[in-house]
Structure 1
Amino acid sequence: MASKNNTFEYGVETLTIGKALAIAKGDMQGVLNKEARKRITNSQQQVQEIVDNDRTVYGITTGFGILANAKISEEDTRTLQYKILQSHSVGVGDPIPTEVAKLMLITKMQALAQGYSGVQLETLERINWHIDNDVIPLVPEKGSVGASGDLAPLAHLFLPLIGLGEVFFRGHRYKSQEVLQQFKLAPIQLGPKEGLALINGTQFILAFAIKGVQRLHNCLEAADIIGAMSLEALTGTQAPFDARLHQLRPFAGTQLVAQRLRDMLHDSAIMQSHIDCGRVQDPYSLRCMPQVHGASRNAWLHLKELTEIELNAVTDNPIILTADDTISGGNFHGQPLALPLDYACVAAAEIGNIADRRCYLLLEGKWGLPMLLMKNVGLNSGFMIPQYTTAALVTENKTLCFPASADSIPTSLGQEDHVSMGSISGRKLNKVLDNLEYILAIELLSASQAIEFRHPLKSSAILEFAHDYVRRSVSFAEEDRIFADDINQIRNIIHDFSFVEAVNTYTSLAGVNLNKGYESFSI
């Protein structure tokens, strides 16, 4: 549990991606302060006033969706909230990762705590209890069309509030009621509008966007380091990374990557050894790293900026301004995130595409490297077959790049006639990132093998550290072995962020900030 002074105040402070991830990890604790509690209570009282005065307000005294014109009596309004969670719990497929479900809870807390949704304080306190105690609802991965809110996933997320559904707790899966009884807690009795407020919103899309931003950032950082190692192994030149060149086409992502490559290659003995070799130009996958990696950086930045807007948005419906002033609109529509998620999907796939090309270059037996990165080939296949895997993964990623947001299927008998499919965009991005981590692992495996053929010459201190860090997990290959084991070992240090974090820590201790001047490109 986070210390008391390391807290975030829901509904009052601005939530960032970094803070959301810190709360999910337990390094920060989300709380409801006095101001937020007052807002929440006032909003709930305004909803009750609407019910008491029998005003016709969508979702409070009427049915939902196509049933918006069906009037609901005062005595049935509470029953309606219970039924909406039941009826909308239609998700299918495997459960989403518990961290993503926890992020859904955290982001819903931020949206509801702003005091425009009419929920009870008790309801928000129970949601926060789930977060603080890591009692995480089971949410199926499929079933949201990304408009009218992420209805099915959010319904499953909040079934435990009323004693239904399932949760993950201490590594096991339980019926929600079992865990509530263990803590001597009773189900919440939902008030008017609460069921609708809980299931309206973009928190499923948003949670996957948060993870996508975090994971893509890690892959982009790793790709620059690994690409620089491949360049060194292939005795490529750093001339195309000259700052003067990139000032003439000043895309921020491109300039950042060029700067990072210059810093990582600084004082490399390998680079100096072939400065007059006469080679005119390197292949694009080496020479154009700033342009290609940089374009993906720009796409990442766009996704990050829009995700942080959504993190602090109110996305349910209707919005309660006062008892006399409510707005029924479409803030639940996922299109604002669906489009950048699809764009980021392409950006992630392209990092894998160019990495695969560098893997191929490392195998050709040119520029002083042995063919297939092994001296005794014929008897050994060397590193030929790992590149088959990158080729397969790159192609799979290409098939995942069709934009889900380009499709729409009408629902609710045409009342909800255009939907975003952003839930699919978010899940798809994270599938591409799964594959990208393996592609980068194979390039890192190959580059680490190749760069040893340049010994006794040394690369820069930063890249030598990166190579040594890899060698803690995987040794140089003198002959064939089960390379899947090596790939998985290296993928693990990419996936858990330890490779990038270790390199960044080393550079920081050495007084080098690879991202200096580009702080917006950090989380």
Structure 2
Amino acid sequence: MSRLPVFHYGKARLTAGFALKLARGLAQGQIDEDTDSKIRQSRDAVKSIVNSGEVVYGVNTGFGPLCRETISAEDTKILQEHILRSHSSGIGAPIGEEKSKLMLILKLHALSKGYSGVSPELIERIGLQIEKNLVPVVPSQGSVGASGDLAPLAHLFLPLIGLGKLHSGGEIVEAGKVLGDMGIPPLTLGPKEGLALINGTQFMAAHGVSALERFHNCLDCADIIGAMTLESLLGSVKPFKPELHELRPYGGTRHTAYRLRHLLQDSEMVESHKACKKVQDPYSLRCMPQVHGASRQAWLHLKETVEIEINS
């Protein structure tokens, strides 16, 4: 059996398509030695701040209006657990299991860049959840997307501390029981780790990745339906010639014209009436590249936006 393609967390550029492969078990991820070293250096910087007594927001202070409240070194760990508990206030039906797993993957990639000051042990535990398919239950409502997807991410990471719920065999079960049965103890979060877990856009980004795939499928289907329509109405492929679309070379338009030429290149029906005396086809046929292409151009913009976000 061939080895699955490998993604290097925190190092390689993640595409929306490869994120879905990871979520579906069609690829595997790993953290390289140099990435691990960067993560450890970042964590050491946080430890240094705590040991020095320097006051830094999110490390040894309260949050929001309580930012002027200094937290003792002994209480910084309790604070991080409390931030997960206090923000896990989402409501509504759970998002799909695949979207929740995508959130884990996107968060692991972000934390592995070494800018968040979390421990290698925390990153290893998130990786274990992905590998073992221990997918948290995340409510669909509750994020305002302001300082990140605070509520959804809090729910996503409750299982790290033995709380929350997991998807298991089509059912929703208590995370503490599942992890306990597997011999996986709860983690004790270190300074800043709770804040690093809930600050991020992985809820929105996971929806974006999923929407990109569905949007792309719709675009491909539209081209196929258009090609079949053109065949049935004995239309011409001349409006799709590449030299025409080089005159106004929008990426989406050129791609759609190419797709239509490719789909119709062996069409006996199109070939059968090449010499007919019809002057031109209706707009809806001959302008398919312009119409479908505008939508594809929008998809390309969305893809660029989503992929910047999942690599940030």
TM-score (norm 2): 0.94
Structure-to-structure mapping, 1:94-493, within 5 angstroms: 94-275=93-274, 277-313=276-312
**Using the alignment, how far apart are the partners of 2:258 and 2:301 within structure 1?**
20
One-letter amino acid of the structure 2 residue matched with residue 308 of structure 1: E
One-letter amino acid of the structure 2 residue matched with residue 34 of structure 1: E
One-letter amino acid of the structure 2 residue matched with residue 150 of structure 1: D
One-letter amino acid of the structure 2 residue matched with residue 69 of structure 1: R
**Using the alignment, how far apart are the partners of 1:298 and 1:290 within structure 2?**
11
Following TM superposition, the consecutive aligned residue runs of length 4 or more in structure 1 with deviations greater than 6 angstroms are none
Paired position in structure 1 for 2:51: 52
Unaligned runs of 5+ in 2: none
Name the count of aligned residue pairs. 312
CA deviation map 1:445-472 (0-9, x unaligned): xxxxxxxxxxxxxxxxxxxxxxxxxxxx
Q: Give the C-alpha shift of residue 65 in structure 1.
A: 2.3
Percent identical: 55
One-letter amino acid of the structure 2 residue matched with residue 118 of structure 1: G
Q: Give the C-alpha shift of residue 170 in structure 1.
A: 2.8
Whether contact under 8 Å (1:232, 1:270) holds in the other structure is: yes
Q: Give the C-alpha shift of residue 178 in structure 1.
A: 1.0
Secondary structure (helix, strand or coil) at the match of 2:92 reads: strand
Q: Give the C-alpha shift of residue 312 in structure 1.
A: 1.9
Secondary structure (helix, strand or coil) at the match of 1:94 reads: strand
Whether contact under 8 Å (1:2, 1:26) holds in the other structure is: no
**Using the alignment, how far apart are the partners of 2:45 and 2:258 within structure 1?**
55
Q: Call closer, same or farther: CA 1:277–1:156 in 2, change over 3 Å.
A: same
**Using the alignment, how far apart are the partners of 2:209 and 2:250 within structure 1?**
24
**Using the alignment, how far apart are the partners of 2:13 and 2:45 within structure 1?**
25
One-letter amino acid of the structure 1 residue matched with residue 261 of structure 2: R
Paired position in structure 2 for 1:20: 19
Bigger mean CA deviation after superposition, 273-282 or 19-28: 273-282
**Using the alignment, how far apart are the partners of 2:78 and 2:114 within structure 1?**
23
Paired position in structure 1 for 2:7: 8
Secondary structure (helix, strand or coil) at the match of 1:44 reads: helix
**Using the alignment, how far apart are the partners of 1:49 and 1:221 within structure 2?**
53
Q: Call closer, same or farther: CA 1:104–1:2 in 2, change over 3 Å.
A: farther
Q: Call closer, same or farther: CA 1:51–1:31 in 2, change over 3 Å.
A: same
One-letter amino acid of the structure 1 residue matched with residue 301 of structure 2: H
CA deviation map 1:271-315 (0-9, x unaligned): 2444455444433332221001111111111222222222221xx
**Using the alignment, how far apart are the partners of 1:267 and 1:40 within structure 2?**
54
**Using the alignment, how far apart are the partners of 2:205 and 2:290 within structure 1?**
29
One-letter amino acid of the structure 1 residue matched with residue 41 of structure 2: N
Whether contact under 8 Å (1:2, 1:27) holds in the other structure is: no
Whether contact under 8 Å (1:150, 1:199) holds in the other structure is: yes
Secondary structure (helix, strand or coil) at the match of 2:81 reads: helix
One-letter amino acid of the structure 2 residue matched with residue 81 of structure 1: Q
Unaligned runs of 5+ in 1: 314-523
One-letter amino acid of the structure 1 residue matched with residue 39 of structure 2: I
One-letter amino acid of the structure 1 residue matched with residue 176 of structure 2: Q
Secondary structure (helix, strand or coil) at the match of 2:147 reads: coil
Paired position in structure 1 for 2:64: 65
**Using the alignment, how far apart are the partners of 1:79 and 1:240 within structure 2?**
67
Q: Give the C-alpha shift of residue 243 in structure 1.
A: 2.3
Whether contact under 8 Å (1:137, 1:168) holds in the other structure is: yes
**Using the alignment, how far apart are the partners of 1:66 and 1:285 within structure 2?**
58
Whether contact under 8 Å (1:2, 1:29) holds in the other structure is: no
Whether contact under 8 Å (1:61, 1:74) holds in the other structure is: yes
Q: Give the C-alpha shift of residue 222 in structure 1.
A: 1.9
CA deviation map 1:323-347 (0-9, x unaligned): xxxxxxxxxxxxxxxxxxxxxxxxx
